[in-house]
Amino acid sequence: VLTLKETLENVIPQRRDAVKELKALYGNTVIGPITISSVIGGMRGNQSMFWQGTSLDPDHGIRFQGLTIEQCQKRLPGTGINGDNFLPESMLWLLMTGSVPSFQQVDSLRRELALRGKELPHYTEKVLLSLPKDMHPMTQFAIGLASMNKGSVFATNYQKGLIGKTEFWKDTLEDSLNLIASLPLLTGKIYSNITNEGRPLGQYSEDVDWCTNICSLLGMTEKNSSNTGNLNSQQSLDFINLMRLYTGIHVDHEGGNVSAHTTHLVGSALSDPYLSYSSGIMGLAGPLHGLAAQEVVRFLIEMNSNISSIALEKEIKEYLWKILKSNRVIPGYGHAVLRKPDPRFTAMLEFAQMRPNEFKNDKNVLLMQKLAEVAPKVLLEHGKSKNPFPNVDSASGILFYHYGIRELLFFTVIFGCSRSMGPLTQLVWDRILGLPIERPKSLSFEGLEALTKAT
Ligand code: AMX
């Protein structure tokens, strides 16, 4: 079985040629206008980034190398056990190489990552242990990642002048795989810092998949004595599959979102993958980006304490109207680009619907399901939001909460485990294609004003 790197090596020459040819033949093709509104409006709508792994369609949502979530669920390999979700390792292979892996290929990548991730550098352990236990988990995450730059193969070889430009991708891949592989131990360490005085909550195993290790190190597998969520064996298997589903579909969402764009921008200065993705994590920590899932959890809990029954649609509607009339938003609804229910939400909802017994007594999960019917009607009547449907954050947090992850700020760390895969894949491809340092031209107010007079 060819490794991921060997498979990638086979794909590279053709792709390099195709991009070179596109640039040579069509380099001057105009893609679209850039308006003053977009320059002072967050570059919304500017089609100005190269990003290979995923693309976002307003009606169908995210596509991974052209495949919808449904197609990924049918075609990407999992553990081989019936009913298990596909492995995020499969998604990494798909993003990196552009093709669906075989079961053997995924299994070898699973093993490779498990071996690469079996210990954290001692200096990273030391740094994490020294941090205050109540420090924001995303700050701990970014510090941990940045500290690992000390072991960066790319940074070391670059410094020594050992590698030429066409070979940069090899060390970038090496660092990226090491980084992704380290995430179970790194996030487990952060979670034990904030919940267990830094004492380990579970064990790492070289024999299991990336998500099983994440769940184990969060203390969420049954064989753990410190089982944080007190899960029975079925629940712990379900939780591992929830983790596989969640981390499998949050890997990437095109290149323009803050965490992906930041990783790409910092990496374009040839900062190594640890520094680049640590910067991406800093962006993911923002409330307008990765923190929305915790808002939804708070909202559902608060709403439940304010209504007498989930069955009373009238009361739910009144509650939502009260929010809208006070000029607040309904968290978990709406999207800047999508115009249909987010298929990532639908996948998480189906996870709950397939387990009615597990969730039948969880008022918050039941309310999340009920809201998906009621809130769009209210938002449509309200008439402002361009998309009245549930977005990605509507369901994920409350499902993690159900199984026992109660530290709301930690949801974003799990998001960050998943999101590593898309932006780091692109970083490897940035080096394969020799993309230059990113350097858009900025304009002052006077500069913009002068342009209005020129037209
Ligand atoms: N509740 C109430 N009003 C909403 C709304 C919602 N869920 N979604 C949009 N609107 C309002 C906007 O505030 C805006 O009002 P304004 O004209 O008075 O400023 C109007 O509808 C038009 O907005 P839009 O073009 O449909 O959306 P947008 O691109 O400006 O914003 C988003 C998108 C996600 C920020 C917005 O829908 C929102 O605030 N949703 C709630 C918060 C949330 O769920 N965030 C997570 C998003 C998922 C993610 O990217 N992580």
Q: Are 230 and 404 in contact (CB under 8 A)?
A: yes
pLDDT of 44 reads 85
One-letter amino acid for residue 179 of the chain: L
Q: Is the CB of 332 within 6 Å of ligand 1? A: yes
Q: Is the CB of 344 within 6 Å of ligand 1? A: no
- Rounded-to-integer distance, Cα 135 and Cα 146, Å: 16
ipTM beyond 0.90? yes
pLDDT of 228 reads 59
Neighbours of 35 (CB within 10 A): 12
Q: Is the CB of 392 within 6 Å of ligand 1? A: yes
pLDDT 10s digits, 362-386: 999 999 999 999 999 999 999 999 9
Burial class for 138, CB neighbours closer than 10 Å (0-12, 13-18, 19+) = buried
**What is the position in ligand 1's atom list of the atom closest to the CA of 334?**
37
- pTM score > 0.90 for this model? yes
Catalytic residues: 289, 335, 393
- Ligand 1: centre distance to CA 384 (Å): 9
pLDDT of 401 reads 96
Dump strand ranges (E) for 54-117: 54-57, 61-64
pLDDT of 125 reads 96
Nearest CA residue ID for atom 47, ligand 1: 335
* Residue 181 in tokens: 């592989």
DSSP state at residue 86: P
Q: Is the CB of 393 within 6 Å of ligand 1? A: yes
- Rounded-to-integer distance, Cα 453 and Cα 450, Å: 5
- Ligand 1: centre distance to CA 226 (Å): 40
Which helix or strand (DSSP H or E) is residue 278 part of?
helix 273-284
For the chain, which residues score pLDDT lower than 70? 223-229, 455
- Mapped onto helix, strand or coil, the DSSP state of residue 342 is coil
Domains of the chain with CATH codes: 292-403 (1.10.230.10)
- Ligand 1: centre distance to CA 290 (Å): 15
Provide the greatest CA pair distance for the chain.
Answer: 71
- Rounded-to-integer distance, Cα 365 and Cα 415, Å: 20
Q: Which of 220, 373, 367, 254 has its CA nearest to residue 303? A: 367
**What is the position in ligand 1's atom list of the atom closest to the CA of 328?**
2
Distance of CA 242 to the CA centre of its chain: 14
The end-to-end CA distance of the chain, in Å, is: 60
Q: Which of 179, 223, 170, 171 has its CA nearest to residue 201? A: 223
Q: Is the CB of 292 within 6 Å of ligand 1? A: yes
* Residue 206 in tokens: 């070289």
